Structure 1
Amino acid sequence: MTTFNASIATVEKGFRPWRPRGRLQVHATIAAASFVCYIFGRLLEGGAATAFSLIGVGACGWAWLVARALFDPAPRDARWARVVGLVLALSGALSVLAPAGGMVGRVADSLYTLSGSAALLLTFVEPFHRYTPDLPLGEKRFRFAFVTVYAGLVAVSVLGLRAVGDGPGEALRDDLVKSACALTGLVAVLVAVRFRLGHPLAARTARRAPTEDDARLAERLRRLLVEEAVDSRPELKIGDVAARLGEPEHRVSQCISTALGFANFNRWINHHRIVRAKGMLAAPDERRSILEIAFACGFASLGPFNRAFRDEVGTTPRDYRATMRAGATAAG
């Protein structure tokens, strides 16, 4: 018996069925199944068509979640994205099951149309996530190909078929064209996932070590803050700083994230604005209002100032001023 169990364990160890790992592979697996069900739901009739359609109606939502995973290396989806996908899948299934013309069917159709349209539009946006001019050429080509193929599929399956008339022949043509688009989309998804698995986004976008050029540029950036107080300009953009230094925008962005250690240009500028604001708020003889201090530190309005201050300090400017003045009074 022991020998038999050991043999079984050896066989089980050698036979390891593929299981999707990670957000991208999980979404791609479900999307592939949805595309296949969508195709069968279009081509079959009767109860079989209904059963396949219950799963196939969520194909565009899963395709959008795949697109998010392709261009966003986060290990999990944002909660709102999961909610949109769930609403799309459930409303689509309900629209398949509900009697035509009834109140439930109309509400389900409206929800499905709204969430499906949102997923279609958001899929166009995803390739531009984390897009920077210094992306490798292969990554740029991949994103361009993704947008081009997707736009072509949407144009054929949604826009081009609006001219289809009534009748069995036209309905069959509609089903065949949409099934062909779904099959093309399935192949495109698999190709895109294969590319991303071979060119991981997280590894490619990992922060690199600063170079000597980065250090020199960082010093020039610091001088802009000290000598010219550029952070006090409300409408300051990274392009303004790059033009002032005679450097490409992507070089300035790289320097900020490597040599200076900030996530992006706005975080860097706001950090120095908040440092100045903290000094003003803590000064016992400072009589300016919080709004006036926000203007003096380079913020165009109170809302962005409050949000940036809370992100940086963990409290509001008003509470920070009260705490600092209370501490000064106690010390005195």
Structure 2
Amino acid sequence: MSIDSAYFLLFLIALVAMMAQLLIRPVRTENILFAILCASLVMVALQTLTAQVSSPYQYVFALGTCATCNVVWLISRAMFRDSDSIKLRHYIVAIIIALLVISSRSIDLLVSVEWLSQDNISWLKRSIGEVTQLLSSTVLALAFWESVKNFSAATKPAKVQRVLFATTFFAGVFSCTVIVQGFISETEQSTLRPWFVVCSAIAIITCIWMVLVLQHLERKAVASVEDVANEPQENKQDQLLLQQLESLIIDQKIFLRPDVKMIDLANLLSVSEYKVSRIIRHATTANNFNQYINRFRVEYAKQLLIEKQSQHWTVLVISMESGFASLAPFNRAFKAQVGCTPNQFRSRHLIDSLDKPLPA
């Protein structure tokens, strides 16, 4: 495998890992930061691949390589600390490092287009590089420290995740620095160092991806256990709310009001509209509020259709007396619930009553 193929593999893995974060729900801070890290590594791969063919785009891609070690530090804090582990000061440090990297890459871009002279700007490039190196080394050490800090107090699965990250991260950084600079000759460094860099980058993002997936599965398992534990209490509360809702509708004949809305019932029960909607959808066979309230109206209309004092009423009058605003919705709701039209229902009842024998 050539070094170009290795960087292309890094490009693919980083791109897939970045897109995979779109599937995580709910999205957490570490998922967003990991997506940013992967995007920056995609730029690293593109910069190297375009440099191999002497493309001017390598300097443009280089501007996007500003979120590597600084973002790894933030990810490490987010993974191995509480949810509120990253403060504004941590983001500021990471942004400063990113701006330094962008400044250095911008100088290279301006020199490549001959807007700046390399001789006149070399002191600035060297100064930025030294400060960037110092800050980057510091955050790399902090990223490793986050994984081993409070190790003894962590749970067994968390210890496995910490060891996995710490081992992979240390091996990657150690190989790219100590081994390359201390055990490889200067003539061979230009050839071997890219291999160490790309292999370490692939190993680190794969490791972080694995830890994020393991933590996500743990949170889902805990949430499932909590849902099961809370389910009996929630069911009891739902049944009580449903009883209060139906008592309110029947006792006060609220269904006879054509303009009644779900918010009206929620206000009378002193609960949110969402709770009323959830109860109707989950605790009854109705799909929505209109279907639910129309069932009370249809039952009331059935009584009017067969009672003697309302037998001379037209279907239109009965629909309006039952709470429907017009005849068409009444006919649709009645047929959906009873299986026939109001006129057919009335006719069948009349025929049945005539067929009954007179009392002796």
Residue 90 (structure 2) pairs with residue 81 (structure 1) = yes
Give 1:177-196 correspondences, 5 Å limit. Answer: 177-196=196-215
After superposition, the CA RMSD in angstroms is 2.6
Q: CA deviation at 1:50?
A: 2.1
Q: Please tell me whether the aligned partners of residues 62 and 85 of structure 1 are also in contact (alpha carbons under 8 angstroms).
A: yes
Structure 1: runs of 5+ lacking an equivalent: 1-16, 205-332
Aligned length: 185
User: What is the CA–CA distance in structure 1 between the aligned matches of 2:186 and 2:147, rounded to whole Å?
Assistant: 37
Residue 35 of structure 2 aligns with an amino acid whose one-letter code is T
Residue 73 of structure 2 aligns with an amino acid whose one-letter code is W
Partner of 1:137: 156
Q: CA deviation at 1:177?
A: 2.2
Deviations 1:239-293 (A, max 9, x none): xxxxxxxxxxxxxxxxxxxxxxxxxxxxxxxxxxxxxxxxxxxxxxxxxxxxxxx
Q: Please tell me whether the aligned partners of residues 98 and 104 of structure 1 are also in contact (alpha carbons under 8 angstroms).
A: no
Task: Please point out which of 110, 120, 129 is paired with 2:130.
Answer: 110
User: What is the CA–CA distance in structure 2 between the aligned matches of 1:183 and 1:29, rounded to whole Å?
Assistant: 14
Q: Helix, strand or coil: the match of 1:56? A: coil
Task: Please point out which of 49, 63, 66 is paired with 2:75.
Answer: 66
Partner of 1:25: 31
Q: Helix, strand or coil: the match of 2:69? A: helix
Q: Which has the higher contact order (CA 8 A, sep 6+)?
A: 1
Structure 2: runs of 5+ lacking an equivalent: 1-21, 109-117, 224-360
Task: Please point out which of 30, 33, 40 is paired with 1:34.
Answer: 40
Q: CA deviation at 1:102?
A: 2.0
Task: Please point out which of 51, 58, 71 is paired with 1:49.
Answer: 58
User: What is the CA–CA distance in structure 2 between the aligned matches of 1:91 and 1:58, rounded to whole Å?
Assistant: 11
Q: Please tell me whether the aligned partners of residues 66 and 99 of structure 2 are also in contact (alpha carbons under 8 angstroms).
A: no
State which structure, 1 or 2, has the greater radius of gyration over its C-alpha atoms: 2
Deviations 1:35-92 (A, max 9, x none): 2222332343032322222222421111111111101222462122111111111111
Residue 106 (structure 2) pairs with residue 97 (structure 1) = yes
Deviations 1:9-41 (A, max 9, x none): xxxxxxxx7588221111111011112222332
Q: CA deviation at 1:128?
A: 3.3
Q: Helix, strand or coil: the match of 1:55? A: coil
Q: Helix, strand or coil: the match of 2:56? A: helix
Q: Please tell me whether the aligned partners of residues 69 and 136 of structure 2 are also in contact (alpha carbons under 8 angstroms).
A: yes
Deviations 1:193-217 (A, max 9, x none): 112212249x79xxxxxxxxxxxxx
Partner of 2:358: none
Q: Helix, strand or coil: the match of 2:63? A: helix
User: What is the CA–CA distance in structure 1 between the aligned matches of 2:86 and 2:178, rounded to whole Å?
Assistant: 30
Q: Would the alpha carbon gap of residues 94 and 165 (structure 1) be closer, same or farther in structure 2, given more than 3 Å must change?
A: farther
User: What is the CA–CA distance in structure 1 between the aligned matches of 2:189 and 2:155, rounded to whole Å?
Assistant: 45
User: What is the CA–CA distance in structure 1 between the aligned matches of 2:47 and 2:208, rounded to whole Å?
Assistant: 20
Partner of 1:10: none
Q: Please tell me whether the aligned partners of residues 165 and 208 of structure 2 are also in contact (alpha carbons under 8 angstroms).
A: no
Task: Please point out which of 141, 147, 152 is paired with 1:121.
Answer: 141
User: What is the CA–CA distance in structure 1 between the aligned matches of 2:159 and 2:95, rounded to whole Å?
Assistant: 31
Q: Would the alpha carbon gap of residues 55 and 47 (structure 1) be closer, same or farther in structure 2, given more than 3 Å must change?
A: same
Q: Quick one: percent identity of the two aligned structures?
A: 16
Q: CA deviation at 1:166?
A: 4.5
Q: Would the alpha carbon gap of residues 187 and 111 (structure 1) be closer, same or farther in structure 2, given more than 3 Å must change?
A: same
Q: Please tell me whether the aligned partners of residues 87 and 112 of structure 1 are also in contact (alpha carbons under 8 angstroms).
A: no
**Structure 1 moving runs of 4+ over 3 Å:** 17-20, 128-133, 163-167
Residue 34 of structure 2 aligns with an amino acid whose one-letter code is A
Q: Helix, strand or coil: the match of 2:83? A: coil
Q: Please tell me whether the aligned partners of residues 38 and 57 of structure 1 are also in contact (alpha carbons under 8 angstroms).
A: no
